[in-house]
Each structure stands twice: as structure tokens, then as C-alpha cells.
Amino acid sequence: MGRTGFGDLEHGAIPTFYAAPPAPRTAPVGTPERPIPLIIDSDPGLDDALAIGLAVARPEIELLAVTTVGGNADVRHCTDNALRLLHAFGRSDIPVAEGAQGPLTGEVVRATAIHGEGGLGRTELPPSPATACPEGAVALMARLLEESPAPVAIAPIGPLTNIALFIRLHPDLLARISHLSIMGGSIGEGNTTTSAEFNVYADPEAADIVFRSGIPITMMGLDVTHQATLDAAAATRLRDLGTASGVIAAELVDFAIERVWQWYGGTTTAIHDAVAVAHLAIDDLVTVASYNVRVDTSAGPARGRTVCEGLGRRMTRYGLQPNAEVGIRIDPGRFEGLLVDAFGRLP
């Protein structure tokens, strides 16, 4: 049977997944001549570490700061990890400020089973000469947005607690945010529960505030980040770069693959967070589609689900407006090459 009004389907089966068509990106992208000013809000974190290294290495990005939030590990570990990573990447001058330990409400959720108790597996990095800014994450964000001559992009790659607090504390500064390139959520199933991806599950109320805020958003959910994987051969490519940063990245990837193998029998690891950062440096790396995204903040089995509506006629029927571009496709080989190239540029 041919078309059923929902596209070409075999046997006339009614689809259960209405994929929105690819759409042109509206997120800004930096160039070496005009690097995009960026704050990364992070819970380092194995994949966070590669995302931070990518941001430091790419000439299209001017990394203004790394703010930290509890997520993969306790926020104290995340802050220390951010300081040590930036030091290892030769940029201990980039300010780090600590944010929320846990969610706005509800239980603290951690991912130490994957990332290790300290958040960076077995990797021990030398201490940084720098210390975290005493003003804290939200105040540092506010100061940098006020001081920047141009609006600043933010890449939240951990739970969205700090971003939600910023929205509530500085509503007057939201126009100074050029874009939120978020790692989080999923059109399809989650990774922490059947319904929810970790960053959203860790603080659904914060994610709800963010997706309702009106700030331009790109959501890099699991649908696209699960295409952005590295394997043991990629770790070898990183190690063979001959840079200390390449060795660090290789160690982190190897540890992540080891945990994925133990947990799922898998042999690759998704470098989720680097997709949200890479999107701001490379114009055509990620294909996006336009969705209305709402967050389930109930206490039921769907808690933390990002409900992604991509079917135009249903948006119209229920009075929904698109509020996010959602990542749907990435070229895995190109993504791997981008990371290897980046860590070859670091010390």
C-alpha cells in the first residue's frame, strides 16, 4: 500500500514517530574572524571534558567561562575538574565559577556510575594555579553578559539548574543571551529512565523554566548525540596525537567505553556534550528540525521527558509554537575528525 497521508509507508501502518523535516539552523555560528562568545555550563564529566577541550581549541569560539553544576558528580568535583581541565588545555586564565549542587526541587541525581566518583574516571590531572570565582556561576554569567559587547551564547551541557536560576534572577539580561545550545532531552526514549535523558531528568523543573523562557534554543538530544560516538580506535587516534591533551582525551574515552561495556555490552561511547559546542563552531555539522518541546514535571514514569511535537497540524490543533531546533543528524566520521583535530591543537 502506498501513501496513507502520512508519507510512504509499507502496508499502510500508521506511524508512531512523526519526524519533523530538516529545517535551516537559526543558531549563530562563529568564524575565526568573529569567534562566538560562549559560556559553557557543565558537570565535568567525561564527555563534558571533550566539549570543553573542543571549545578551547576551535578558533570559531571565544570561551568566556565555564560554570559548574552538580550532575555527573558532586559540584565540588565538577568545579575542580573544570579548573584542572582548563589548566591541562593551557587556558587556566578562563574563569570558572561554581553553581548549584542539586536540582531546584526533588532528589539529587548523579551519574557517577558512568563517570566515576570524581567525574573524570581514573584520570588524575595536576591542580590548576587558578581558583574558582567567589561570585558563583549565576553572578559570573550576569557579569559577563553585561560586559560583553555582543550577546553571548551559552552551552548548558549538564542539568539546567543554573540556567533556570539565571532566568529567575536576571530576566533583564535574557536578551543578552544569543542562543542556548543545550545538550539534553530526547525526541525518543531517555537514557536514565525510559522517558528521560539524564540532564533533564536531574532537574525537570529547571528544564521546564528554560524551554518556556523564549530564549532561542537548540536542543541536542540523544537522537543526535547517540550518532556522535567514539570507539577504541578513535581513542588510539587521540593518544597518537602526541599531545598531553590527546592522552587525557584518550584516557577519558577509554574509561567511558569500559563503563559502557560493563553496563550495556557496547563498544562505543557517545560524546554527547561536544555536539552542543561543535554546533556553534561548524555551520553544517548538525542537521536540525523545528519542534515544540515541553518538559514533563510530573511525578510519574514520564518525569523528565522532553515531549517533542514536530507535526505541524498537531501543533496548530493544540496551539503550540515551535520553541526549539532539535538535532536530528550528524556525520559520525566528521565529528570524530573534529575532536581529533581539536585535541591536536591543544598542548
Residue (of 2, 284, 40) closest to 182 by Cα position: 40
Neighbours of 299 (CB within 10 A): 9
Given the residues 77, 87, 272, 279, select the one marked as catalytic. Answer: 272
CB of 312 to Ca ion, least distance (A): 32
What residues from 60 to 99 belong to the interface with ligand RIB (CB under 6 A)? 71-72
Choice from 123, 178, 181, 191 touching ligand RIB (CB under 6 A): 191
8 Å CB contact between 335 and 275? yes
Q: Which stretch binds ligand RIB (CB under 6 A): 142-150, 193-201, 207-215, 320-328?
A: 193-201
**Whole-number Cα distances in Å, 300 to 16, 107, 188, 275, 294:** 22, 14, 17, 30, 15
Cα distance between residue 167 and residue 100, in whole Å: 14
Determine which helix (DSSP H) or strand (DSSP E) holds 142, and give its type and residue range.
helix 137-147
Q: Which residue in 295, 293, 297, 274 sits closest to 285, CA to CA?
A: 274
For position 251 contacting ligand RIB by CB under 6 A, the verdict is: no
Pick one of 103, 156, 158, 304: the residue that binds ligand RIB (CB under 6 A). 158
Task: Please give the Cα distance from 241 to 303 (Å, whole number).
Answer: 43
Single-letter amino acid code for the residue at 122: R
- Interacting partner of 191 out of Ca ion, ligand RIB, none (Cβ under 5 to 8 A depending on kind): ligand RIB
Number of residues this chain uses to bind ligand RIB (CB under 6 A): 16
The H or E element spanning position 183 is: strand 177-183
The stretch near ligand RIB (CB under 6 A) out of 1-9, 42-50, 141-149, 279-287 is 42-50
Stretch that binds ligand RIB, among 40-48, 98-106, 254-262, 279-287 (CB under 6 A): 40-48
Residues 257-276 that bind Ca ion (CB under 5 A): 273
Catalytic residue numbers, as ranges: 272
Which residues make up the interface to ligand RIB (CB under 6 A)?
43, 45, 47-48, 71-72, 111, 157-158, 183, 191, 197-199, 272-273
